[in-house]
Amino acid sequence: MIEEGSKSSKSMVEKRQLFMEMRAQNFDVIRLSTYRTACKLRFVQKRCNLHLVDVWNMIEAFRDNGLSTLDHNAEINVSRLETILSSIFYQLNKRLPTTHQINVEQSIGLLLNFIVATYDSEGHGKLTVFAMKAMLATMCGGKILDKLRYIFSQISDSNGVMVYAKFDQFLREVLKLPTAVFEGPSFGYTEHSVRTCFPQQKKILLNTFLDVLMADPPPQYLVWLPLMHRLANVENVFHPVECSYCRSESMMGFRYRCQQCHGYQLCQSCFWRGHASGPHSNQHQMKEHSSWKSPAKKLSHAISKSLGCMPIGEPPHPVFPEAAERPQDLAHTTQLRPVANNMNDTVLISSGTPTPSKSTLESPSRLDEEHRLIARYAARLAAEASNSTQCPPTDLSFNFDANKQQRQLIAELENKNREILQEIQRLRLEHEQASQPTPEKAQQNPTLLAELRLLRHRKDELERRMSALQESRRELMVQLEGLMRLLKDEEQKQASQTGSSPHSSPSHSASCTMPMPIRSTSAGSTPTHTPQDCLAGVGDDVLDAFSQGVPRNLRNDLLVAADSITNTMSSLVKELHSVDDGLEDEEENMRNGREKVSSLKHPGKRQSTPSF
């Protein structure tokens, strides 16, 4: 009993795991029910790894498990459903590279619990074959056109006309998906759903069915289905535009541009949550963009459109023949085997119904050509099958020639596709090379860089030396001015004093008031200094004039000192001239260095390169 209780509790936890993870994504903050439903179902699709299973692989799995021969209303139990899901995911792991393998057991458990919660809410342990086919064909990966063609083959009669009762059954089953993710009030099934999709009771063929479900906008009850596929296509689309609300410098996914506010654009997160700023309002009409086009591309697109170089109003899908669309059960095909075309492509080869190849660099025109080729080939096969009993043996050569032409056409299309891929790769490389900054050629010459650094250092050193010499010159001028002032003071004292010797006192005061050495910052010295301290660093003539306290004429002594200072100034001026000449030589060397750098940057220009 304890083991049974633990198993049941574990099963309940597994059933709720997917819904708990979905609630953690906080999708309910999205204000628009269409985007909210599409985001939730896209999350379920990716979490269960259904986005990796193509619709053609899903059809093949139905055939391998014998579902193609069962009636739509036949019931299967949960254990058989688990077996079918196991075959789907184990075959998926065989197709995937080893570095991208999935957890098969986890994927089976999550998807099985989601299907049971969606289609067996009452706990009967059974569900119909048609319900399982409709759910898996809708939630798997692949193109929406291929999905709708398969669904039409399941709800049409032998004449290729849609049966309204079967379409009503399809809507009943597929609209359980929004209800399972708690969006039933917006997209739940009602009795008027069929009339909403096809208001006029008339004969519905394949092209009409595709026109209605792939229209813009699609029917209200299925508007989330094409949106889910658009979400898958724009998940990695980059828009180099700043969001006008959150100020994010780039956008991923959808981009919305206001039709009334000039230059107002929102990222998908801000638009889904109803954010607005400035004069913009949520009531304004917004245009959804799923790609980014530069101004140059927009201009070329407008010019091509105005000149009639590109078709206007292309149909949303290729036009298929009016013959009956056969059910896509692949009953006469062999097991698909992956054949490596290149590193990124895998082509699925079969001997019956042709399957489209998946390429990482497919253009819309290439896809349209493939669809037209498939439709033409299917129509020709149907015509050959109907006339096979009436054709004599002589028609074998004609059939062989037709098959040969088809093979040649396929080969030509493959060569054209290969050339387009090579051209795209070449343009991408050229764009990457153009976007990279070109390094300066001077950086590739270390000798020239070393010479430039040496010249710059020599220039800085000469500028510092010249500044020091100018400061010394200023100090000498200040000291000379102090000497002249002292001379005038002593002459005034001699004129005012009487009875004193004209040589003794002036010589005594002069010997005590001589200026400091040249590097001193004061204009004179104090009377407490000794003559040796006052005359330190002065010329021989000044020392002779003021040594041993011998009284001499003050005017002559000052003239001698001034003459000594003048000689010092002359030598300083000569040194400054030599420094100026050195600076001019260094400037000339630097100018030659710059010319050499310019010649290295522009090797095409002919100019003389001075040598250092």
Question: How many other C-beta atoms can be found within 10 angstroms of the C-beta atom of residue 394?
Answer: 7
H/E segment holding residue 255 = strand 255-258
Q: Is 494 exposed, middle or buried (0-12, 13-18, 19+ CB in 10 A)?
A: middle
Q: How confident is the model at residue 356 (pLDDT cuts 50, 70, 90)?
A: very low
Contact at 8 Å (CB) between 277 and 244? yes
Please say if the pLDDT value at position 183 is more than 80: yes
Q: Where are the alpha helices (DSSP H) in 25-128?
A: 33-47, 55-64, 78-95, 104-119
Measured CA distances, 566 to 83, 471, 572, 573 (Å): 113, 16, 10, 10
Please say if the pLDDT value at position 527 is more than 80: no
Please give the angle made by the CA atoms of 146, 147 and 152, to the nearest 5 degrees.
Answer: 100
Q: How confident is the model at residue 457 (pLDDT cuts 50, 70, 90)?
A: confident
Contact at 8 Å (CB) between 357 and 96? no
Cβ contacts of 491-494, under 8 Å, gap ≥ 24: none
Residue partners of 116: CB distance under 8 A and separation at least 6:
15, 78, 127
Q: How confident is the model at residue 336 (pLDDT cuts 50, 70, 90)?
A: very low
Q: Please tell me the distance from the alpha carbon of residue 50 to that of residue 108, in angstroms, as a whole number.
A: 10
Taking residues 550-570, report their average pLDDT.
64
Whether cis (ω within 30° of 0) applies to the bond prior to 217 is yes
Phi, psi of 68 (to 5 degrees): -70, -25
Query: What is the pLDDT at residue 550?
Result: 44
Tokens 């003071």 belong to residue:
489
Question: How many other C-beta atoms can be found within 10 angstroms of the C-beta atom of residue 391?
Answer: 12
Taking residues 125-138, report their average pLDDT.
94
Q: Please tell me the distance from the alpha carbon of residue 198 to that of residue 63, in angstroms, as a whole number.
A: 31
Q: Which of 433, 432, 452, 434 is nearest to 442 (CA)?
A: 452
Question: How many other C-beta atoms can be found within 10 angstroms of the C-beta atom of residue 174?
Answer: 21
Query: What is the pLDDT at residue 387?
Result: 60
Q: How confident is the model at residue 41 (pLDDT cuts 50, 70, 90)?
A: very high
Q: Please tell me the distance from the alpha carbon of residue 31 to that of residue 18, in angstroms, as a whole number.
A: 22
Contact at 8 Å (CB) between 64 and 305? no
Q: Please tell me the distance from the alpha carbon of residue 150 to that of residue 341, in angstroms, as a whole number.
A: 27
Q: Which region among 64-73, 143-152, 471-480 has the lowest average model confidence (pLDDT)?
A: 471-480
> Pick the residue with more confidence: 237 or 587?
237
Contact at 8 Å (CB) between 360 and 344? yes
Q: Please tell me the distance from the alpha carbon of residue 107 to that of residue 43, in angstroms, as a whole number.
A: 13
H/E segment holding residue 288 = strand 286-289
Taking residues 164-187, report their average pLDDT.
92
Q: Which of 292, 595, 263, 294 is nearest to 451 (CA)?
A: 595
The pair of three-digit structure tokens given for residue 484, joined into one six-digit string: 């002249």
Taking residues 75-93, report their average pLDDT.
94
Contact at 8 Å (CB) between 15 and 117? yes
> Pick the residue with more confidence: 81 or 489?
81
Please say if the pLDDT value at position 384 is more than 80: no
Helix (H, G, I), strand (E, B) or coil at 367: helix
Q: Which region among 111-125, 193-207, 316-330, 349-363 has the lowest average model confidence (pLDDT)?
A: 349-363
Q: Which of 551, 508, 500 is nearest to 530 (CA)?
A: 508
The size of the chain, in residues, is 612
Taking residues 2-29, report their average pLDDT.
72
Mean pLDDT across the chain: 74
Cβ contacts of 400-406, under 8 Å, gap ≥ 24: 406/377, 406/380
Taking residues 475-484, report their average pLDDT.
82
Q: Which of 327, 332, 387, 386 is nearest to 159 (CA)?
A: 327
Please give the angle made by the CA atoms of 471, 473 and 476, to the nearest 5 degrees.
Answer: 115
Q: C-alpha 190: how far from its chain's center?
A: 44
Q: What is the 3-state secondary structure (H, E, C) of 319-341?
A: CCCCCCCCCCCCCCCCCCEEEEC
The pair of three-digit structure tokens given for residue 567, joined into one six-digit string: 């000689």
Query: What is the pLDDT at residue 9?
Result: 53
DSSP state of 273: T
Q: How confident is the model at residue 47 (pLDDT cuts 50, 70, 90)?
A: very high
82-86, 368-372, 511-515: range with highest mean pLDDT = 82-86
Q: Which region among 159-173, 203-217, 365-379 has the lowest average model confidence (pLDDT)?
A: 365-379
Query: What is the pLDDT at residue 488?
Result: 81
Please say if the pLDDT value at position 1 is more than 90: no
The pair of three-digit structure tokens given for residue 501, joined into one six-digit string: 């010797």
Question: How many other C-beta atoms can be found within 10 angstroms of the C-beta atom of residue 335?
Answer: 10
Please say if the pLDDT value at position 49 is more than 50: yes
Q: Please tell me the distance from the alpha carbon of residue 536 to that of residue 516, in angstroms, as a whole number.
A: 8
pLDDT tens digit string along 248-298? 887 888 999 999 888 898 999 999 988 888 888 888 989 888 887 765 565
139-148, 359-368, 491-500: range with highest mean pLDDT = 139-148
Q: What is the 3-state secondary structure (H, E, C) of 227-238?
A: HHHHHHHHCCCE
